[in-house]
Amino acid sequence: MNHDASTADRIRIVLVGTQHPGNIGSAARALKTMGLARLVLVAPQRYPHNEADMMAAGADDVLASATCTDTLADAVADCRLVLGCTARSRRVQLQELHPRTAASRACETALAGGEVAVVFGRERTGLENEELQLCHAAVHIPANPDYSSLNLAAAVQVLSYELRVALLADGVTGMVEGQAAEGQARGAGHAPDRPASHAQMEGLFGQLAQTLDDIDFHKGRAPASAMRKLRRLFLRSELGEREVRLLRGILADAQRMARLAAGRH
Ligand code: SAH
């Protein structure tokens, strides 16, 4: 293994609203076999539970260090890349990645020092649309189209395997190349702009929604649809921290001008 072990530690697997505790144990085992160790449980229905311990087998250390949060937003707040795994194709209009492409993107972000989350939904109902909207992209395992829903822990295993292959293939060389490519993409000669975190993106979206109100953009239409499209656009762009600051500066000026205009009439 020639990649830095801490690279794998920047990747967390997030299970949302898991119903069967056995699946949590099996997922812990799937992670450990692939050299991953960070499991985050968002509002699990029955946990801790002896079925989870039983299915984890020798991966009880991964299970013991799993953390719990109340919401998906809490689980991914510090992440630069959030990938949501869905059994159904094109459920929301998000960019959809093949697991292999997703794993190599995850690996690139982790090698550049960013936190990454790969998110899995509930056994019965998967991820809600609002949860998918927190993701930069969706990941779909191209399974049998007539029966495309894998068992939760099996899906975790497929993604964990792809992450391991990507981490092994990239190694330290990947890090140097990755950083060089990022430097070129974001303006040579400058320190690379770190990808904005989930919380920074939510800050931008909050201000954007407020600004659209302030400038009367919606004119009576429901704001939700425009915001959904704008979220998609900005999440797809994978903005850097400096880029978010620039956009928020522009929004702040627009808000100031709107206040001035309102004062004049
Ligand atoms: N009936 C649910 C299936 C949930 S399976 C639905 O249609 O959404 C539980 C979780 O396993 C899913 O939320 C997803 O995260 C993951 N999963 C199952 N099959 C998958 C597939 N083919 N591709 C990607 N993720 C999958």
**Model pLDDT for residues 161-181, shown as the tens digit of each residue:** 999 999 999 763 334 444 444
Could you give all domains of the chain from N- to C-terminal order, each with its CATH number?
Answer: 3-179 (3.40.1280.10), 198-261 (1.10.8.590)
pLDDT of 187 > 50? The answer is no
- 3-state DSSP assignment of residue 124: coil
What spacing in Å lies between the alpha carbon of 127 and ligand 1's midpoint?
8
What spacing in Å lies between the alpha carbon of 173 and ligand 1's midpoint?
34
Which residues have CB under 6 Å of ligand 1? 85-88, 120-121, 123-127, 139-141, 143, 148-150, 152, 155
Q: Who's near 142: CB < 8 A, 6+ residues apart?
A: 98
Give me the amino acid identity at 227. M
What spacing in Å lies between the alpha carbon of 182 and ligand 1's midpoint?
32
Q: To 10 degrees, the CA torsion angle through 85, 88, 90, 95?
A: 10
Question: Rounded to an integer, what distance in angstroms lies between the CA atom of residue 43 and that of residue 128?
Answer: 14
Residue with tokens 């205009």: 261
What spacing in Å lies between the alpha carbon of 189 and ligand 1's midpoint?
43
Question: Rounded to an integer, what distance in angstroms lies between the CA atom of residue 135 and that of residue 116?
Answer: 11
Q: How many helices (H) and strands (E) does the chain have?
A: 11, 7
Eight-class DSSP state of 146:
T
What spacing in Å lies between the alpha carbon of 88 and ligand 1's midpoint?
7
CA distances from 59 to 33, 39, 79, 231 (A): 8, 11, 25, 37
Closest atom of ligand 1 to CA, residue 152: 11
Q: Compute the average pLDDT of residues 33-53.
A: 98
Q: Which one of 40, 86, 148 would you pick to mutate in the ligand 1 pocket, going by the greatest count of ligand atoms within 8 A of its CB?
A: 86
CA distances from 172 to 11, 61, 154, 162, 204 (A): 17, 27, 29, 18, 33
pLDDT tens digits for 2-23? 456 689 999 999 999 999 999 9
Q: Confidence class of residue 190 from pLDDT cuts 50, 70 and 90?
A: low
Handedness of CA 202, 196, 235, 15 (dihedral sign): negative
**Global pTM value:** 0.78
pLDDT tens digits for 223-250? 898 999 899 899 888 899 899 989 998 9
